[in-house]
Chain A
């Protein structure tokens, strides 16, 4: 068996090499083949190094990439699935790519972004014991593929009960806080924010996890930061009243204060700062240098369509990923109320990895879109998008529907207005690559 596994590893490594030569990404396919040859191939991998896992609905890829940068700049040897191939096949690819032919991975840290549903599957094995698990948030996402949030939380609770580890938890998300109840108390590290100028008292988003997991009664919120993220408490048992290890007290422009220390970021969106809080918590656990952490916060850039900026014919275009109501709401809120002539393009596909059900678009806060000169709808479900935007009160005359993404972008480029683009999962790369092409052409 050992010999056979070695053969699989050599074969898979060769496959990765050839695919790379051919200019392919080789992110999931090699792992898929390896698992076909031996479905337990991951058991053969022996890891020397701390395993850090990042999971949650929104922000995994960005958070994982920042942690990678910080650890690398701190002089550690780090292995990671930075491209975001975060389910079984992709993680297997990452492991095999980085192991010796006898299956050994020698590093200081293995940082793995992992799809929420795959955490129990991958890390229940003795050779994959997690040292620290970061849980960012749980929002509605791709429901038809993923099942309901409740099912997911139960799965993770069961997993943690058996496989205790250090947990870095978003203390302002009631669905996430729950998981900590199943862990050793001293190993839970919560992060969160105190009341800010932007906090509000009545929710205007669709809500998840509004009931106390113990008493089943409605949680009471002192204030919300965004969506169901905020300061909450069960009026009966006090659930939610956690001591925060990492507490943000102030955000001013691009600076923010955490536990009396000042940090700076190049993306001061609230959801991004929440990700940064999880990283600050991690940096305290592993004694990482605050200056390195701050440097990465200040300069970090991912060219993967998350807040990516393009200059096309002297026009600024900003592309963001939005694959669920909360994600899109956060982006919309950050681009509204700016005093500029602007237009919006939304790409909506319904392929398997997007979730075939697109009814979540009706949970987006699509009211008050009048400040956009035009809204262009594209992707395989462009017309569904147009119906929603129309019914929430936007002027039909300013809605343009063009299912072909490149053609839609061409239409958008015809005006001088500032451009904002939001794409869901599967068309993101295609959108990004076309914008990059236009950017190169306009220079």
Chain B
């Protein structure tokens, strides 16, 4: 079996170690003898065939970098929309999440048109110091199971009007300051502010994504061999213990 992954703008949109997500996917696949092919696309390269991929990844960048990418990615709106309809999985972190909404207003007041795949929009405070920063815990329903997901958020943008959030905030901010909701999720798209990288301490989520991609591709149910997740579970426990005792939840 194999998995084809496309990383969008990895040389530009790679703040906060988000490309680590790809390393984690690769690691968990390789341990199960699933071959992973990784292609990259960035500005001035030949148009990628979005529908060819099982998984497409887009991370975040600074305002300046986001401007450059926003201009380029709009060219592919149709192709991206089509591939989502066909079931390709999209993992979008931070700036990537924002670009899939209607628009993004940056901290200088410039408005960047988004892909408009979803109805949410994002606005930054003009005060650059006003950011949602810190460890975050959310609760998300993955495979009918409610899971705690941990990460680190760091965003100036406040995202409004998300219809189907990725999770409920247990500790931290979420889409806006002191919000109840975090990110967006439909069956084959997760958009989120969680860095860490996201998949590093949430192996169940990683496996959900792998399983989804394989089942879609091979059109049969897939059983993923269990891996030794001692480090992952300990790291997660460390954060949960620290924050949940603090918040007295």
Question: A388 and B200 in contact (CB under 8 A), knowing A144-B133, A147-B128, A359-B17?
Answer: yes
Question: Which of B8-16, B139-147, B177-185 faces chain A?
Answer: B8-16
Q: Which residues of A sit under 8 angstroms from B207, Cβ to Cβ?
A: none
Contact with A along B132-156 (1 / 0, CB 8 A): 0111000000000000000010100
Q: Which of A149, A360, A401 contacts B231 (CB 8 A)?
A: A401
In angstroms, Cα B44 to Cα A144, docked, is: 31
Q: Is B197 a contact partner of A148 (Cβ separation < 8 A)?
A: no
Q: Which residues of B sit under 8 angstroms from A396, Cβ to Cβ?
A: 228
A152 CB, nearest partner CB in chain B, Å: 11
Q: Which residues of A sit under 8 angstroms from B15, Cβ to Cβ?
A: 143, 148
A347 CB, nearest partner CB in chain B, Å: 15
Q: Is B196 located at the chain interface by the 8 A CB criterion?
A: yes
Question: A362 and B19 in contact (CB under 8 A), knowing A144-B133, A150-B62, A383-B231?
Answer: yes
In angstroms, Cα B63 to Cα A149, docked, is: 11
Chain B interface, number of residues (Cβ within 8 angstroms):
37
Question: A387 and B152 in contact (CB under 8 A), knowing A356-B134, A361-B17?
Answer: no
8 tightest CB-CB pairs across the interface, nearest first? A362-B20, A362-B17, A383-B235, A359-B17, A391-B27, A148-B62, A386-B231, A383-B234
Q: Is A416 located at the chain interface by the 8 A CB criterion?
A: no
In angstroms, Cα B196 to Cα A144, docked, is: 12
B23 CB, nearest partner CB in chain A, Å: 5
Q: Which residues of B sit under 8 angstroms from A390, Cβ to Cβ?
A: 27, 231
In angstroms, Cα B196 to Cα A360, docked, is: 8
Q: Is A216 a contact partner of B68 (Cβ separation < 8 A)?
A: yes
Question: Which of A70-78, A91-99, A204-212, A368-376 faces chain B?
Answer: A204-212
B29 CB, nearest partner CB in chain A, Å: 11
Q: Which of A363, A384, A392 contacts B235 (CB 8 A)?
A: A384
Q: Is B231 a contact partner of A144 (Cβ separation < 8 A)?
A: no
Q: Is B16 a contact partner of A392 (Cβ separation < 8 A)?
A: no
Contact with B along A383-403 (1 / 0, CB 8 A): 110111011110010010100
Q: Which residues of A sit under 8 angstroms from B135, Cβ to Cβ?
A: 356
Q: Is B246 located at the chain interface by the 8 A CB criterion?
A: no
Q: Is A359 a contact partner of B195 (Cβ separation < 8 A)?
A: yes
Q: Which of A329-372 contact B (CB under 8 A)?
A: 356-363
Q: Is A391 a contact partner of B24 (Cβ separation < 8 A)?
A: yes
Contact with A along B195-234 (1 / 0, CB 8 A): 1110011000000000000000000000000001001101
Q: Is B46 located at the chain interface by the 8 A CB criterion?
A: no
Q: Is A151 located at the chain interface by the 8 A CB criterion?
A: yes
Q: Which residues of B sit under 8 angstroms from A362, Cβ to Cβ?
A: 17-20, 23, 197, 200
